[in-house]
Structure 1
Amino acid sequence: MSQIRTAINRIQDEIKSAQERSPYGAKDVLLLAVTKNVDAERMKEAMTAGISAFGENRVQEIEKKYDQIPTEASWHLIGHLQKNKVKYIINKVALIHSLDSTALAEEINKRAQQVNLVMPVLVQVNVADEETKFGVTPDEAIPLIQGIRALPHLKISGLMTIAPLVDEAEKVRPVFRQLRELRDQIQEMNLPGVSMDYLSMGMTNDYQIAVEEGANIVRIGSGIFGARLPN
């Protein structure tokens, strides 16, 4: 059995265990394979082992690999998205995880209208208030959502966060818990045009904690493909 298949099987087992041991475990969890610096052949190998969705940080990586991967795969943009890059991926991605401003929302809406689709997006929340991370603060999330929810070609579908990199995964549990609680608060508001279907949180170092706190998308790169090669 290949290293990639072995890793995917192990991660799926650990996700299932985390779901079962927590009252907050989601019924279904998407294992999103993060493919920064991963070539198309290894991505195809991951597909044969059960991966159905790939996450990329950079628009140019999606453009480069899009035609090399079978069409049944779905693509997620998980990195910071500049307004001038939206047009290149608007008809290629299934979900944008990194909406963090009204201006970006308006650009996504405009470009989605041009290709006659409604683009699902997640609002990126910088729960830990890290200067090096993008995203709105927890206090800014609801006003942002209220301000953009009427855009007709945008579908607010949940929240995303990136936890700090720490030496012990347990230390980031409060970050994931706070995002889940924010998700619950928004759900209770019953805002028209807003769904909180997705909670995208957890990466290679902390995904089990994230699943225990309610994540239903985990973004895992090196845990599947091994240590990243330099650019």
Structure 2
Amino acid sequence: MSTPDSPSPLSADDIAAITGNLDEVADRARAAAESSGRSGDDVRVLLATKTQPAEKIRVALEHGFTLIGENKVQEITGKAEALADLNPETHLIGPLQRNKVNHTLRHAQCIQSVDNLPLAEKINNRLDVLDETVDYFIQVNTSREDSKFGVAPEDAEELITATRELGRMRLRGLMTIGLPGSSPEEIRPSYSDLRELSEKLRESGVMPAEATELSMGMSGDFELAIAEGATMVRVGSSIFGARDYS
């Protein structure tokens, strides 16, 4: 693993490929936002860096993309030192086990995968000890797939009401993982349902008016998610290439 003072092991072609992909994704995200009547600045690209080495992530950060998301706590802690000098905004976007809360709070500024009250209480209790705060999203299972984490849409109001009583946590919005359909008609409802839920909960005062963020959409469908109101899209393979699980 390289350090800030050592040359990157990546070739010039590798670096050019990553930066070119970054520019393409940013252009597509901006165009999708403008097509939906919003400013391109209304949508942020989160670098989904699961299994990606710190060297590749460093290229993206140095190219001006400051927001990264990891699926596993081990990867957050494993890459933190190598990227510390670039001070990325780090989000946990995968499920969080309660016994990993301490490690997460050392390095993550936001937890996007809060989907039950015991987890939220564990996070808040640890923050009391640390005298710190953290941002969070409520993860909603809008596709209603048994294989996915997230609170059921009809149970989101109760969970949000309870978590807002926890003084160390700041709610930024809602997150979902879309249905892996083969057509926009199949995929779209899981995103439009999250937008409609967000609007309903803010209008009723269950969520604060400023909790407008919608984290939804990935490499294969982020433009569709933006059309349905995404403010943050989680893009990895379109930038870094296929993940290495070896």
Report the TM-score range of the alignment, normalised by the length of the smaller protein.
Answer: over 0.9
- Conserved in 2, the CA contact under 8 Å of 1:157 and 1:194? no
Q: 2:59 corresponds to which letter in structure 1? A: E
Deviation at 1:190, TM superposition (A): 2.4
In angstroms, what is the RMSD of aligned CA positions?
1.7
Select 2:51's aligned residue among 31, 37, 62. Answer: 37
The 5 Å alignment of 1:1-231 reads 2-23=16-37, 27-69=41-83, 70-191=85-206, 195-231=210-246
Distance in 1 separating the partners of 2:119 and 2:40:
29
Name which structure has the greater RCO, CA cutoff 8 Å, separation 6+: 1
Structure 2: where are the runs of 5+ without partners? 1-14
User: Which moved further from structure 2: 52-61 or 108-117?
Assistant: 108-117
Distance in 1 separating the partners of 2:209 and 2:224:
26
Q: 1:65 corresponds to which letter in structure 2? A: K
Partner of 2:6: none
Distance in 2 separating the partners of 1:117 and 1:189:
29
Distance of aligned partners of 1:131 and 1:152 in 2 relative to their CA distance in 1, 3 Å threshold: same
Deviation at 1:147, TM superposition (A): 1.6
Distance in 1 separating the partners of 2:155 and 2:117:
11
Distance in 2 separating the partners of 1:19 and 1:172:
18
Q: 2:78 corresponds to which letter in structure 1? A: K
Q: 2:48 corresponds to which letter in structure 1? A: V
The normalised TM-score by structure 2 is: 0.89
- Conserved in 1, the CA contact under 8 Å of 2:33 and 2:40? yes
Structure 1: where are the runs of 5+ without partners? none
How many positions carry a matched residue from both structures?
231
Q: 2:51 corresponds to which letter in structure 1? A: N
Taking only the aligned residue pairs, the percentage that are identical comes to: 37
Deviation at 1:215, TM superposition (A): 0.6
Compare CA radii of gyration and give the structure with the larger one: 2
- Conserved in 2, the CA contact under 8 Å of 1:170 and 1:209? no
The normalised TM-score by structure 1 is: 0.95
1:192-226 alpha-carbon deviations (Å, 9 max, x no partner): 76742311000001100011111111001101100
Distance in 2 separating the partners of 1:223 and 1:57:
17
